[in-house]
Structure 1
Amino acid sequence: MINHFPAFAPTAEREPFWFLGGQARILLPGSATGNAMSLMEFSDPVGHAPPRHVHENEEELWFVLDGEVSFFVGDERHDLTPGQVAHGPRGVPHSYLVRSGDGARIAVVFSPALIEEWFKANGTPVAETGDLPPAFDLAAVVGSAEAFRLRVTGPPPSL
């Protein structure tokens, strides 16, 4: 049965974890929406950018909470500040780049859900506030993405 509002993530789900050098949290897992959508939060440092990639299953909606972030969708670049939104359609290569010196926080809706399971499976729990991100094996993270129909199409953008 689908939970209708309010839907909540269990406390353990909302705990932050390291992912590709930034922190992520699952705010609303797909299990709370019948896998219609999920909501995550990413807190990334200046210069952070995932490799350019394509989601074959999910639409992605980015909402900038704090900081300045450039979103690259197809051949377009969108420079966003807090309160602005960008859309990453399924099947279209995209990435983002954190430009602000204090880093950025982004809320991301994925529809349909389940990709949040890939993020969590490739993350490392944050032991305590102020912790430095652990080293990660990008090849292993990319290799595990195939099961979620996510593929890398190019290098990350840079400052």
Structure 2
Amino acid sequence: MGTTRMRVLEDGSHTGHRLGMVESVLAPHTDGPPQHRHAQHDEGFYIISGTVRFTVGDKGYDATAGTLVMVPPGAPHTFANLTDQPAVMLSTFTPDLYVQYFRDLQRMTADGTPLTPQAAIHTMSRYATGPATDFA
């Protein structure tokens, strides 16, 4: 996801795998993942600072500091930072299934594998997630 930095705050090991949590710092003008759907987990985003553009289906929303965005299983979604300032958000995953996806992406980049949209989609498929091709 470009210049996004992520830090795993809870990998599920302290919550019986019911909850995972990640802090993300999105650099200015950072595209997010391809629009996708999760089949097995809810995802929440709490914006700490900056503005994050969420696209859910064919509708776009700007979420600013203090906004909570919840995405239930099956909802097509993506996000990006379209602004000139960094954006910081906390993401939750219930259950924690998707935390490993981010670790897989980190491992890929550490191995020198280019982080292309196709590589991200392939990795997503391991975690009951797929592209929302009807909204691509």
Query: TM (normalized to structure 2)?
Result: 0.84
Q: Specify the code of the residue in structure 1 equivalent to 2:45.
A: W
Distance 2:16 2:74 in 1: 23
Q: Specify the code of the residue in structure 2 equivalent to 1:47.
A: H
2:22 touches 2:90 (CA, 8 Å); kept in 1?
A: yes
Pick aligned residue for 1:140 from 119, 125, 130? 119
2:33 touches 2:117 (CA, 8 Å); kept in 1?
A: no
Distance 2:115 2:25 in 1: 17
Determine whether 1:105 maps to 2:88.
yes
- Aligned twin of 1:86: 69
Give the structure with the larger helix fraction: 2
2:40 touches 2:128 (CA, 8 Å); kept in 1?
A: yes
Q: 1:58 to 1:25 in 2, by over 3 A?
A: same
Distance 1:126 1:95 in 2: 21
Number of residue equivalences: 133
Unaligned runs of 5+ in 1: 1-18, 128-133
Distance 1:149 1:124 in 2: 19
Give 3-state SS (helix, strand or coil) of 1:96's partner.
strand
Q: Specify the code of the residue in structure 2 equivalent to 1:62.
A: F
What's the % identity of the aligned pairs?
A: 24
- Which is greater in Rg? 1
1:78 touches 1:86 (CA, 8 Å); kept in 2?
A: no
Determine whether 1:41 maps to 2:23.
yes
Unaligned runs of 5+ in 2: none
1:46 touches 1:100 (CA, 8 Å); kept in 2?
A: yes
Determine whether 1:30 maps to 2:12.
yes
Distance 1:125 1:113 in 2: 20
- Aligned twin of 1:131: none
Distance 1:156 1:145 in 2: 17
Distance 2:124 2:108 in 1: 19
1:50 touches 1:156 (CA, 8 Å); kept in 2?
A: no
Q: Specify the code of the residue in structure 2 equivalent to 1:39.
A: M
Pick aligned residue for 2:3 from 14, 21, 26? 21
